[in-house]
């Protein structure tokens, strides 16, 4: 028997066999960052020929760690994921730290606050402000919901006002001519360190777990400044935004339905002989692979509608 397929309005209709796709979505998905589960710690150092290398220390408890908010844009095309750019990963202010904006005397709200203190050698304060990041990547395949976070490129967004920066104030007690202050702009793109990121599903929401570990090296009048950001960003989106394209096979009296899947949701194949009548669970065998799920059942000679429902 020859079968003709037609894709229209989210349904595949086969002559004698009707397959309804519920749901069908594709394209970009905007994930909302959860600040309660997203935090990044700043570390690093200042290096020059006179003082060697001095590591950053916190100005106060927790001053070098802050939460993040904003959104992450991802293209979901099962079983692939890609980050096209257009994300807005924004640091939250975590306190009031030295120096003031522009590096002047005093203090002001900041995302990060650090210092370097060496008796009789140097006293330096810095405050990271307006940290805003974007992520991009090539398309990569999800394997059991995981992918290599080392494919991510993390960029400081400088087209915003005010732009990401670090205000600094450096005092050298034994040589005031070496005193300096100002603002160091944070620019450029860094490759994220390899790790495993995950896309999972729980409680009706997709969850994106993204490890962040980047290094940014800058130069100012005091020497070489190394800024390291390390932490995890967690973002969620409604489960219904996950695309569910479906392929259909018919061989030796068996009909098979195959769709991309990942850990979390439970799938159920339902059937009916006429739209508008109740759906019932279809009898068959379900096989789960790393990135797909396949259901196989017995075909009938009568018209039959099928649909796949996901329980999250």
- Note down pLDDT in tens along the chain; length 312 residues: 222 222 222 334 444 555 544 444 457 899 999 999 999 999 999 888 777 888 999 999 999 999 999 999 999 876 789 999 999 999 999 999 999 999 999 999 999 999 998 877 889 999 999 999 999 999 998 887 899 999 999 999 999 889 999 999 998 888 888 889 999 999 999 999 999 999 876 656 788 999 999 999 888 777 788 999 999 999 999 877 765 667 788 888 888 988 777 666 678 888 888 888 998 999 999 888 877 789 999 887 777 888 887 665
Residue 39 is predicted with a pLDDT of 98
Q: Residue 102, Cβ neighbours under 10 Å: how many?
A: 13
Residues 179 and 242: their CA atoms lie apart, in Å, by 55
Residue 223 is predicted with a pLDDT of 79
Residue 23 is predicted with a pLDDT of 42
Q: Which CATH architecture best describes the domain 5-24+244-311?
A: Sandwich (2.60)
Q: List all residues 6 or more positions away from 236 whose beta carbon is below 8 Å from its beta carbon.
A: 31, 32, 34, 205, 206, 207, 208
SS3 (DSSP) at 11: strand
Q: Which residues of 267-304 are buried (b: 16+ CB within 10 A; e: fewer)?
A: bebbbbeeeeeebeebebeeeeeebebbbbbebeeeeb
Residue 6 is predicted with a pLDDT of 24
User: What is the pTM for the complete model shown?
Assistant: 0.75
Residues 265 and 285: their CA atoms lie apart, in Å, by 17
Residue 262 is predicted with a pLDDT of 66
DSSP assignment of 159-196 equals: SSSSPPEEEEEEE-TT-GGG-EEEEEE---EEEPPP-E
Residue 248 is predicted with a pLDDT of 84
Residue 245 is predicted with a pLDDT of 66
Residue 8 is predicted with a pLDDT of 28
Q: Which residues of 5-35 are buried (b: 16+ CB within 10 A; e: fewer)?
A: eeeeeebbbbeebbbbbeeeeeeebebebbb
Element (H, E) at 307: strand 305-311
Residue 25 is predicted with a pLDDT of 43
Radius of gyration of the chain, Cα coordinates, nearest whole angstrom: 27
């Amino acid at each position: 028997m020859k079968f003709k397929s037609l894709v229209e309005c989210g349904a595949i209709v086969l002559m004698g066999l009707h397959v309804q796709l519920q749901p069908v979505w594709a394209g970009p998905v905007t994930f909302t960052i959860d600040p309660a589960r997203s935090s990044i710690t700043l570390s690093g150092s200042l290096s020059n020929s006179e003082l060697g290398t001095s590591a950053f220390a916190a100005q106060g408890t927790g001053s070098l760690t802050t939460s993040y908010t904003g959104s992450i844009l991802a293209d979901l095309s099962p079983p692939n994921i890609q980050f096209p750019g257009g994300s807005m990963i924004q640091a939250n202010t975590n306190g009031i730290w030295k120096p003031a904006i522009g590096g002047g005397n005093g203090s002001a709200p900041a995302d990060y606050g650090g210092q370097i203190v060496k008796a009789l050698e140097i006293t330096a304060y810095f405050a990271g402000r307006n940290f805003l990041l974007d992520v991009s990547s090539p398309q990569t395949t999800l394997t059991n919901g995981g992918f290599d976070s080392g494919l991510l490129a993390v960029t400081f967004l400088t087209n915003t006002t005010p732009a990401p920066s670090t205000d600094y104030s450096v005092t050298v007690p034994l040589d005031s001519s070496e005193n300096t202050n100002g603002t160091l702009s944070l620019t450029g793109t860094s490759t994220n360190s390899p790790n495993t990121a995950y896309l999972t599903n729980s409680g009706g929401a997709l969850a994106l777990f993204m490890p962040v570990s980047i290094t940014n090296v800058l130069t100012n009048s005091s020497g070489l400044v190394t800024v390291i950001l390390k932490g995890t960003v967690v973002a969620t989106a409604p489960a219904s935004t996950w695309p569910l394209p479906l392929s259909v096979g018919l061989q030796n009296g068996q009909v098979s339905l195959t769709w991309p899947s990942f850990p979390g949701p439970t799938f159920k194949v339902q059937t009916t002989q006429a739209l508008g009548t109740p759906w019932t669970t279809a009898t068959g065998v379900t096989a789960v692979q790393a990135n797909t799920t396949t259901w196989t059942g017995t075909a009938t000679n009568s018209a039959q509608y099928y649909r796949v429902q996901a329980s999250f």
